[in-house]
Amino acid sequence: DAGITQSPRHKVTETGTPVTLRCHQTENHRYMYWYRQDPGHGLRLIHYSYGVKDTDKGEVSDGYSVSRSKTEDFLLTLESATSSQTSVYFCAISGVGHTGGTEAFFGQGTRLTVV
């Protein structure tokens, strides 16, 4: 398995509370991604990073923020959790080969429930 660790693996939180999910990699890959996966929607990109302190929004970024202060860590923060953010969150990493993108490796996921 690629060296990706997500923490926590499961979390239940109350509406309105802030939540931070952590993704840690040991592969020194340039790109890191946060996705959410919901029934009928597949994987949807929340935010991604293409380097330390370089981040950009994905298609479902509202209500989420990210930070990448080190190559190995990519944090996803829900500023004020809502029930619509109940989901399974996946972190992924990928490098850039000499011919462009390379495969993305995924973490095991974090199941977040907002009550």
Q: Which residues bind other proteins (CB under 8 A)?
A: 31, 33, 35, 39-45, 48, 50, 56, 58, 90, 92, 94, 99-109
Q: Which residues contact 107 (CB under 8 A, 6 or more apart)?
A: 4, 5, 6, 23, 90, 91, 92
Taking the least distance from each CB to other proteins, the nearer of 16 and 96 is: 96
| C-alpha to C-alpha distance for 108 and 14, rounded to whole angstroms | 23
Rg (Cα) of the chain, in Å, rounded? 14
In the complex, the smallest distance separating the C-beta of residue 67 from other proteins, rounded to whole angstroms, is 18
In the complex, the smallest distance separating the C-beta of residue 65 from other proteins, rounded to whole angstroms, is 18
Taking the least distance from each CB to other proteins, the nearer of 15 and 97 is: 97
Taking the least distance from each CB to other proteins, the nearer of 50 and 80 is: 50
In eight-state DSSP terms, residue 31 is: E
